[in-house]
Structure 1
Amino acid sequence: MTGYEEMAAQLDRYAAVPGDVLREVVTGDGLCFWAFDRTDMPALSGQDSPDRELAARMCAGCPVIDQCREWELRTAGPDTVGVWDALPETDRRALYRVWARRRAGGDVR
């Protein structure tokens, strides 16, 4: 299993959770929604390694990373931008393809 396949499989447990519940959990408990001034977030560089490091640093210690990942994949899908769920947009876009294939194919255990 690749890293994206493992991440997508980990999100299977949220498949039946309503979107409004995920939104409430993420906006209520996500560090980026209450611990930081969102207008002063650092910008992504467009380079994979620095963006991964920035995303991991920005989300370090957040208790709802998986719920955030599920919510962002549902709401933004392949058009995701910025940092969500400790991943930069390039990784989330690659993850989205695997996640969507699992959901469409019913490959949820």
Structure 2
Amino acid sequence: MNDQHFADVAAELDDYAAVSEDALEHAVRYQGACGWLATSGGTPEWTGDDGADRELAAPICAGCPVQRECLEWEFRTHGYAIGSVWGPLSAAGRRAVYLHWRDRRDDAGRAGGRS
């Protein structure tokens, strides 16, 4: 994946800028593939190793209907200090998207404050 892909993902997250954290959390917990697995007892045995856990999570995240809500919620709650497995991207990919996301939100805040 290249930097333009990460910028495009960050742009897609603009659709969720006005969504409350509570609504994002609710969507991820109740509509997310990982949430469904957790409540059905089908959660994989996580190893604690990011690479191995990423391999376990990839097929779960790939079909998730709330991937973008998950990323938005993660960025708001964890910022650049990304941990565990969130969304369909690797930790490095999520950090790359986060930098674009933060820049877009900073730019929107500055534009909104202009008269």
User: For residue 30 of structure 2, what is the aligned residue in structure 1?
Assistant: 28
Q: Is the 8 A contact 1:55 1:87 kept in 2?
A: no
TM normalised by structure 1 equals 0.81
User: For residue 20 of structure 2, what is the aligned residue in structure 1?
Assistant: 18
One-letter identity of the residue aligned with 1:31: A
Unaligned runs of 5+ in 2: none
One-letter identity of the residue aligned with 2:51: S
User: For residue 74 of structure 1, what is the aligned residue in structure 2?
Assistant: 76
Query: Offset of 1:54 from its aligned partner?
Result: 5.1
Kindly name which structure, 1 or 2, has the bigger radius of gyration based on alpha carbons. Answer: 2
Find the residue that maps to 2:87 and give its secondary structure.
coil
Aligned length: 104
Q: What is the CA RMSD across the aligned residues, in angstroms?
A: 2.5
User: For residue 57 of structure 1, what is the aligned residue in structure 2?
Assistant: 59
One-letter identity of the residue aligned with 1:45: G
Larger deviation: 33-42 or 74-83?
A: 33-42
User: For residue 40 of structure 1, what is the aligned residue in structure 2?
Assistant: 45
Query: Offset of 1:31 from its aligned partner?
Result: 1.0
One-letter identity of the residue aligned with 2:5: G
* In structure 1, distance between residues paired with 2:27 and 2:51: 29
* In structure 2, distance between residues paired with 1:38 and 1:73: 23
User: For residue 3 of structure 1, what is the aligned residue in structure 2?
Assistant: 5
